[in-house]
Structure 1
């Protein structure tokens, strides 16, 4: 495994260290809803609206951050976005209620831009053939940080107050910005990192030449809608069947622990395999997980569901991000990463209302519908993977050999 990681540049590894720290202190959003209802005394409806528009801001930032990066530089977007996000979080305890409908949206929008910039920086700094490993390193750091963060946030609330929680999160985000400014050289990856007006075909024209990328984005949109049911309707269904929050917490612990143990070595081991087949297989496993729940919600089926869901996540998330990066032309790398980042968090806004509506009308239909949606999406990708030429060096290499485009120089 170590040999497979040697292709990941040192700058990316240093950025991953910063990503770990940033995720350790990024615990505010976990407790934001409770803060609004408990500390601020807002109604559940008000807290839900504020949290919902904040989530919409995050998704919008993911969709647009790469455009700013292609034009002005991904490094600049990461630094400015971290600065705005950190200041916004620091200000939250002091805001009047009216501004709680505005500032968190801006803060989460900036955070979404940072996520897109992170992906684009990895894409432009890691050479072809090693992007899966690069993204896996970043995901490992983020997941490890998030494993530590929420318990630390709960400790801060118990020992001090919500105000201290916001201060630690905000200051930590600003520290990450200072760290990133130091470890990311201004010209580490040429003009794609530091900016300049994008030239070459537009994103729509590029996507028309890459139907497999369009299919992948559609599949990830559907998969994320299904995948994130574990954070909304799943705990409600477990409770309905007599399995309390303790069981749900252990299920999430299984998910997080296995991802930390398996994702990096599995990504390195499969780095030479056809990406669409790996991604399609992972999406099928997500569908299979919810298919198990369709047999009945109990402790055994819940554990089996989480094991299958985790295996699917390990297989599909990192290769999908890398596939989009490998397929992107140099002048549009950020916008391609933004498209992927946006669809991959779309479930933050869509999964709870859609899943909740179906569960309210027909509780027994939710898990079969989830299984069918993810299963069909996985089958489509497997078919696309079989249709691709065996032994091809990768979508990115194939695209760059296309006679329809001239790659933008990065030096």
Structure 2
């Protein structure tokens, strides 16, 4: 990987090491401010709704003021909001902090992804985005353990630690990455990049990506609450996140296996969702921590396949100079999911229980597996090849 990508991965590992506060936002609202389950879900939804303009602003700012500056701005904004949540003395201030966190939370994702997509050749993008996912998972292993340790005391400590790692990551990015060279306004790159919503291929990927993000965020936002419903400590979610992160790191060699690299993107994404369905079924049936750990590891294999393929596909679909905007639009799927997941999850937990929650998510994964085989586009490079040659590996 190029030096710029390696430095970015290192900085994001530092950031990810402390990024364990978000799954405990709803738990803090309930435990720290005495809110009801429904109110906690609405606060989580407010955070998710705020991430949608945040992601779009991240793509716009990356093109206007530069990738490095946008990443630093987003990380510093997250740190301020997390400290506000930790210091909140009332539910009102906690809600304000959650909304501010959402507005800053996605600013740094589009420029980070654009740096990776534009710094490596097309044939290496799947591997590069898989390594990016693994780097975040490596930090996540330590994050899960720290969450399990710090979360057994005061949940506010998680937000203070997360703020500290955001500032450390911002400093690394500011010192290590090269100076920004944003394209001048009015250039052809900008004219092309503002049209991602007119691309039917991107809209197809956005639709299935939103459904996947909803499943993913359901786990992130609802797992601590689901554990308490089964009589387990909410902090044990940190151990499950650690198991998933460790699997993502250790399973990286699977991405480079010849039979995996020969899979077309639709087939790879269908397989990924079958693995996710298996992991979520385990969550629905398991009642002990060891069984839940196994389920987390199985589901993380599906996440590994999705992350590498989906972001590489979006980067390939983008025209020259348009990857930042394309990735920003695709990334709004996470904002939509983060808005819906807390409400859907808390209502399913309150009225149907843990088994129904995870069974519903598993069924959605099976539906997505079938949809990917029908609606997900192949990469532009593969679409331009004769059918007899399309099994050429599309990953390094």
Relative to the length of structure 1, the TM-score reads: 0.76
SS at match of 2:381: coil
User: 2:3 aligns to what?
Assistant: 10
Matched ranges for 1:174-323 at <5 A: 174-187=167-180, 191=182, 196=185, 199-201=190-192, 203-204=194-195, 206-209=196-199, 211-231=200-220, 251-262=240-251, 264-269=252-257, 270-271=260-261, 273-290=263-280, 296=285, 305-323=295-313
* C-alpha displacement of 1:171: 3.8
Count residues with an aligned counterpart. Answer: 377
Instruction: Name which of 330, 341, 346 aligns with 1:351.
Output: 341
Structure 1, residues 114-156: CA drift from partner, whole Å, max 9, x if none? 1222112212222221112222222112111122124335656
Aligned in 2, Cα 1:286/1:58: closer, same or farther, shift over 3 Å? same
* C-alpha displacement of 1:236: 6.1
User: 1:43 aligns to what?
Assistant: 35
1:336 aligns with 2:326: yes
Whole-Å Cα distance in 2 between the matches of residues 297 and 36 of structure 1? 27
Asked if the contact 2:114/2:327 (under 8 Å) is kept, the reply is yes
User: 2:368 aligns to what?
Assistant: 377
Whole-Å Cα distance in 2 between the matches of residues 122 and 79 of structure 1? 16
- Unpaired runs of 5+ residues, structure 1, are 1-7, 399-411
Whole-Å Cα distance in 1 between the matches of residues 283 and 343 of structure 2? 20
* C-alpha displacement of 1:19: 0.5
Asked if the contact 2:265/2:378 (under 8 Å) is kept, the reply is no
- Unpaired runs of 5+ residues, structure 2, are 386-396
User: 2:314 aligns to what?
Assistant: 324
Whole-Å Cα distance in 2 between the matches of residues 309 and 274 of structure 1? 21
User: 2:393 aligns to what?
Assistant: none
Instruction: Name which of 89, 100, 111 aligns with 2:105.
Output: 111
Asked if the contact 1:279/1:316 (under 8 Å) is kept, the reply is yes
Whole-Å Cα distance in 1 between the matches of residues 54 and 185 of structure 2? 20
Structure 1, residues 308-364: CA drift from partner, whole Å, max 9, x if none? 422211211221111111111133211211122221454322123224434555557
Structure 1, residues 193-218: CA drift from partner, whole Å, max 9, x if none? xx6455334644x4544x33322221
Aligned in 2, Cα 1:227/1:51: closer, same or farther, shift over 3 Å? closer
Whole-Å Cα distance in 2 between the matches of residues 118 and 253 of structure 1? 23
Q: CA RMSD in A?
A: 3.7
* C-alpha displacement of 1:249: 6.1
Relative to the length of structure 2, the TM-score reads: 0.78
Higher Cα Rg, which structure: 1
